[in-house]
């Protein structure tokens, strides 16, 4: 009797066990991981997640860590040509999908992917497709490809007894390239595919897909900090950072709120600033031009002086800053030792980075190397420690070394931000640019 082929969505005990470890390391890789709107995820049918794509592998991992339920993803088909890679990807619950750039003959093979995706959805396993088709490390969006809509419409047709939802997801990173940044994931309003088809029966299937594409694109944009990807992108981003603290205070006063989650507050504040700039462009183009010019000038000066945008956008009370400096001084001996012990990972990261053309993969590489190498290094260091020292000393030393990558990074991050703050404090011209920007935004 032929052995039954294992489906990509089938339960795998090893995969389920490793998920706890991967999710745990992911959450350690960010200072804050915040999910907003999880209550919007439908429970009465099949779900296709549609996230924006800005940070390579990390995008899939933050979606995966939303809950412990298994999820099936798709990836470009060319990486499945190697049999070993294909087996690994199948174990990771990733399916191949052809793209137009692979040729029309190859795209025809997506029929098998659609059939398998329907099987996944029938089993109530969430399916995840990045509808932009490629990633870009910007707070913006790309045109949506048609693949997700073809799969959704054909899947709904093949399972009329089960409602199917496309759920937009907005992923917003504090930094695309820095380890231990922040990430905010917002679930948008789901699209009920069956209800949409029934309510738009006067349109052809192609027209229906085009309408859904516009709806999904708008829902995704409203779930992220979105700046139009045009010649004003850098200036707009700089302006948002310059006024975010003031915008947060304005929003809190307007809504009579005494306290807000920082990521939520920054999200709302940045949205308000972008909307104001777009309004100025339409109604007061001269004022908008002056504001954007200031934004561009500030961006050029800040980057040339190597001043972090965090020094501009994040409010640190004086006491908090003093306490952070004292923390850096207190843990410096530990940090130096931990930095030495984590040096193999650091050097390997830097070597791989020299081979990368796309910066967006940097955090993915850091994550994978820490995921795999740090446990191996800890085993080696623990063995050496137990050989050299009595177990009464070896045990606490081993436990103290466990958080070394995080403590080391946080210490150097605080040191880097402290230096950046001093540079901003000493740059009167740059601070003047920001003051002018705030005066225009708040009509002072």
Residue-wise pLDDT tens digits, 224-243? 889 998 899 999 999 999 99
Same domain, 299 and 351: no
Q: Rounded to the nearest 5°, which phi and psi values hold at 272?
A: -60, -40
Same domain, 147 and 257: no
pLDDT category at 324 given cuts 50, 70, 90 is confident
Same domain, 196 and 258: no
Same domain, 215 and 265: no
Q: Over the stretch 263-292, which tens digit does the pLDDT of each residue have?
A: 999 999 999 999 999 999 999 999 999 999
Token reading at 397? 């030393």
On average, the pLDDT of the chain sits at 88
Number of domains in the chain: 3
pTM metric for this prediction: 0.89
Q: Which of 131-140, 169-178, 317-326, 353-362 has the lowest mean pLDDT?
A: 317-326
Same domain, 53 and 170: yes
Q: Over the stretch 59-70, which tens digit does the pLDDT of each residue have?
A: 999 999 998 888
Q: How far is CA 387 from CA 337, 379, 400, 437, in A?
A: 19, 12, 17, 61
User: Does 329 score more than 90 pLDDT?
Assistant: no
H or E stretch at 100: none
Which of 221, 246, 278 terminates a domain? The answer is 221
Residue 311 belongs to some domain of the structure? no
Residue 312 belongs to some domain of the structure? no
Task: Pick the closest to residue 338 from 289, 386, 403 (CA basis).
Answer: 403
Token reading at 215? 């709806």
Place of tokens 């659609």: 114
| Domain that residue 56 falls in | 13-221
Same domain, 260 and 342: no
User: Does 99 score more than 60 pLDDT?
Assistant: no
Looking at residue 106, its pLDDT comes to: 54
User: Does 109 score more than 70 pLDDT?
Assistant: no
Residue 227 belongs to some domain of the structure? no
User: Does 18 score more than 80 pLDDT?
Assistant: yes
Same domain, 83 and 173: yes
Helices (H), 7-141: 13-28, 57-64, 83-91, 104-107, 110-122
Same domain, 217 and 242: no
Looking at residue 2, its pLDDT comes to: 46
Looking at residue 328, its pLDDT comes to: 79
Same domain, 166 and 118: yes
Same domain, 126 and 254: no
CB atoms within 10 A of CB 419: 14
Which of 221, 243, 258 terminates a domain? The answer is 221
Same domain, 140 and 88: yes
Residue 438 belongs to some domain of the structure? no
Q: Which residues contact 201 (CB under 8 A, 6 or more apart)?
A: none
Q: Which residues contact 74 (CB under 8 A, 6 or more apart)?
A: 94, 95, 96, 97, 113, 117, 127, 128, 129
Per the CB < 8 A criterion, the answer to whether 148 and 48 are in contact is yes
Same domain, 210 and 242: no
pLDDT category at 190 given cuts 50, 70, 90 is very high
Pairing of strands 182-187, 32-36: parallel
Per the CB < 8 A criterion, the answer to whether 8 and 90 are in contact is yes
Residue 310 belongs to some domain of the structure? no
Task: Pick the closest to residue 232 from 279, 288, 169 (CA basis).
Answer: 288
Residue 101 belongs to some domain of the structure? yes
Q: How far is CA 243 from CA 175, 275, 293, 382, 392, in A?
A: 18, 13, 15, 49, 53
Residue 29 belongs to some domain of the structure? yes
% the chain with pLDDT above 70: 94
Alpha-carbon Rg of the chain, whole angstroms?
24
Residue 175 belongs to some domain of the structure? yes
Q: Rounded to the nearest 5°, which phi and psi values hold at 421?
A: -60, -40
* CATH number of the domain where residue 46 is located: 3.40.1130.10
């Amino acid at each position: 009797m032929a052995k039954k082929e294992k489906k990509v969505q089938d339960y795998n005990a090893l995969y389920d066990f490793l998920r706890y470890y991967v999710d745990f390391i992911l959450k350690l890789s960010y200072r804050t991981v915040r999910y907003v709107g999880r209550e919007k995820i439908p429970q009465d049918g099949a779900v296709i997640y549609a996230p924006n794509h800005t940070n390579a592998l990390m995008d899939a991992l933050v979606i995966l860590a939303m809950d412990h339920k298994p999820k099936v993803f798709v990836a470009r088909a060319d990486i499945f040509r190697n049999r070993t890679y294909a087996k690994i990807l199948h174990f990771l619950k990733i399916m191949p999908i052809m793209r137009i750039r692979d040729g029309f003959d190859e795209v025809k093979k997506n029929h098998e992917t659609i059939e398998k995706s329907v099987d996944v959805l029938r089993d109530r396993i969430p399916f995840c497709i990045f509808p932009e088709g490629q990633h870009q490390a910007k707070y913006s969006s790309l045109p949506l490809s048609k693949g997700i809509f073809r799969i959704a419409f054909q899947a709904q047709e093949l399972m009329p007894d089960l409602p199917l939802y496309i759920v937009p997801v907005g992923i917003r990173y504090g930094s695309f390239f820095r380890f231990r940044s922040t990430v905010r994931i917002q679930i948008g309003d789901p699209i009920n595919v069956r209800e949409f088809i029934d309510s738009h029966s006067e349109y052809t299937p192609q027209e229906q897909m085009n309408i859904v594409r516009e709806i999904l694109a708008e829902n995704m944009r409203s779930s992220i900090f979105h700046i139009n990807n045009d010649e004003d992108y850098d200036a707009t981003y700089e302006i948002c950072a310059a006024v975010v603290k003031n915008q947060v205070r304005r929003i809190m006063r307007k809504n009579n709120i005494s306290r807000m989650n920082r990521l939520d507050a920054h999200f709302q504040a940045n949205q308000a600033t972008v909307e104001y700039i777009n309004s100025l462009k339409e109604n007061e183009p001269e004022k908008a031009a002056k504001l954007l010019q200031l934004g561009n000038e500030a961006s050029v000066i800040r980057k040339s002086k190597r001043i972090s945008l965090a020094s501009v956008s994040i409010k640190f009370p004086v006491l908090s800053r003093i306490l952070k400096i004292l923390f850096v001084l207190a843990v410096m001996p530990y940090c130096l030792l931990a930095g030495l012990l984590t040096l193999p990972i650091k050097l390997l990261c830097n070597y791989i980075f020299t081979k990368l053309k796309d910066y967006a993969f940097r955090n993915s590489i850091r994550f994978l190397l820490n995921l795999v190498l740090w446990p191996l290094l800890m085993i080696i260091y623990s063995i050496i420690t137990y050989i050299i020292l009595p177990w009464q000393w070896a045990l606490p030393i081993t436990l103290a070394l466990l958080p070394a990558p995080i403590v080391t990074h946080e210490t150097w991050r605080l040191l880097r931000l402290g230096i950046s703050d001093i540079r901003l404090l000493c740059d009167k011209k740059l601070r003047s640019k920001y003051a002018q920007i705030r005066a225009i935004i708040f009509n002072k």
